[in-house]
Amino acid sequence: METLKHKKILLGITGGIAAYKSADLCRQLKTAGADVQVVLTTAAAEFITPLTMQALSGNPVHQHLLNPEAEAGMGHIELAKWADRVIIAPASADIIARLAAGMANDLLTTLCLATEAPIALAPAMNQAMWRDPRTQDNCARLESLGMTIWGPGVGDQACGDSGPGRMLEATELAQLIAATFDKGRLCGKKITITAGPTREAIDPVRYISNHSSGKMGYALAQAAVDAGAEVTLVSGPVNLPAPRGVDLRRCDSADAMLAACLAGVNECDIFIAAAAVADYRVADVANQKIKKSADKLTLELIRNPDILATVAAHPQRPFCVGFAAETEQVTKHARDKLQRKGLNLIIANDVSQPDIGFNSDDNAVTLIDQQGDLALGPAPKQQLARQLIDAIAQRYENNAS
Ligand code: C5P
């Protein structure tokens, strides 16, 4: 619990009988040296008083979004930025649904939308409400957005039922919160990740590109940051927010992406190429917009540099990880690529399957290296990214020892 010292914990409490356990959780966090700010929803205040939580946290309790007095003190955006972690305990079915829908209709939901801090929820509700497919779908949605669900425990419930839906005990939750501050296995390591498509100019207004969404690379970058790494994300044009805590370098063409990757190659420990780099670019990019006149237009294309192979051939090469998107003989083609590009590890995915891979939220992959094959997924890309980063870290450690 040493890791909780001076950490800023925003404790959100929603309406449920388990709210009484949150008083103890708050006390345990304070005893471990954390600074705690409490947010109560309207329903939570029916179960536990603001005065109790103020006395235990040593800070005024936050309850209302549109309160001029509170905004003059620590306003809601300031509070969202202040937090190192947001913990919602107990998390009712209602808050889970509202967060899954992206609502911002009270202080707690607004804070959760505004914060960049990791959010964890400890659900507590009647077993039938927990089992309801809508609650399950909402939880899956929150996890795919990178939030963590702790519990619920199984046992007797206040309503007389028995089953899943009990909030975890305060001691267990305090330990789980503390563990999120433990230095990750990639602490001190520098990782460069490429993501998204590249754009190859035809003229000042047109380009050649592809449908890569960048989701896998961005999820990997977030998982690597969460594992303690210092991450440079070299990204082609995508419609995704910058992952928390990464050094984001935006670029357009394969040439620009290569330059950005080579700039830090001497210091890089692990290189992960998740970008869908255009294989060809236009030989002579027109200075002016090409006018339509002839019925036929021929563009001469030339090969782009292979960014991954170039980094892998560098004298101070990092541990190199590539992706192989294949439609047939997936592992065979991936293994060939592993050899040809001189990689340590390749992550193969079968893009002939409609629900996974390119431009989708889920993915399923096979890790291939000298040790053999390891299948992961299908799973949401965020979840898969955490598993991949763990597997990459393990192979990197084996390689270094
Ligand atoms: O050869 P192919 O495009 O299938 O190889 C895929 C792997 O190589 C991916 O990791 C991709 O990011 C990387 N790559 C690259 N530069 C290229 C082409 C592919 O870094 N020009």
pLDDT at residue 72 in the model = 73
Q: d(Cα 138, Cα 93) in Å, to the nearest integer?
A: 9
Residue 229 DSSP SS3: coil
Degrees, nearest 5: CA angle 192-194-200: 140
Paired strand residues for 129: none
Spacing, Cα 288 to ligand 1 middle (Å):
30
Q: Which residues line ligand 1 (CB under 6 A)?
A: 194, 254, 273-275, 277, 304, 306-308, 322-324, 337
Q: Where are the beta strands (DSSP E) in 70-176?
A: 85-91, 119-123, 148-149, 153-156, 162-166
Spacing, Cα 294 to ligand 1 middle (Å):
35
53: phi then psi, degrees, rounded to nearest 5: -70, -30
360: its two tokens = 């989708």
pLDDT at residue 372 in the model = 87
pLDDT at residue 70 in the model = 75
CA nearest ligand 1 atom 2, residue: 324
The CA–CA distances, whole Å, from 190 to 230, 271, 291, 313 equal 5, 9, 47, 18
> What averages of pLDDT result for each successive group of 10 residues across the chain (401 residues)?
88 97 98 97 97 97 86 84 96 98 96 93 96 96 88 87 92 92 87 98 97 94 91 97 90 98 96 98 97 93 98 97 94 96 96 72 89 87 88 92 79
Q: d(Cα 381, Cα 208) in Å, to the nearest integer?
A: 26
For the chain, the maximum distance between any two Cα atoms, rounded to a whole number of angstroms, is 80
Helix (H) or strand (E) holding 100: helix 93-100
- Among the listed residues 242, 228, 220, 25, the one whose alpha carbon sits nearest the alpha carbon of residue 120: 25
Q: Which amino acid is located at 296 in the chain?
A: K
Spacing, Cα 306 to ligand 1 middle (Å):
6
Are 180 and 118 contacting, i.e. CB atoms less than 8 angstroms apart?
A: yes
Mutate to test the pocket of ligand 1, among 210, 218, 306, 339 (most ligand atoms within 8 A of CB): 306
- At which residue do the structure tokens 């294989």 appear? 279
pLDDT at residue 358 in the model = 62
Spacing, Cα 385 to ligand 1 middle (Å):
19
Atom of ligand 1 nearest to the CA of 272: 10
The domains found in the chain, sorted by start residue, are 2-179 (3.40.50.1950), 190-400 (3.40.50.10300)
- At which residue do the structure tokens 């990740």 appear? 193
- H, E, C per residue of 154-205: EEECCCCCEEEEECCCHHHHHHHHHHCCCCCCCCCCEEEEEECECCEEEECC
Catalytic residues: 159
For the chain, give percent helix, strand, coil, nearest 5: 35, 25, 40
Atom of ligand 1 nearest to the CA of 326: 4
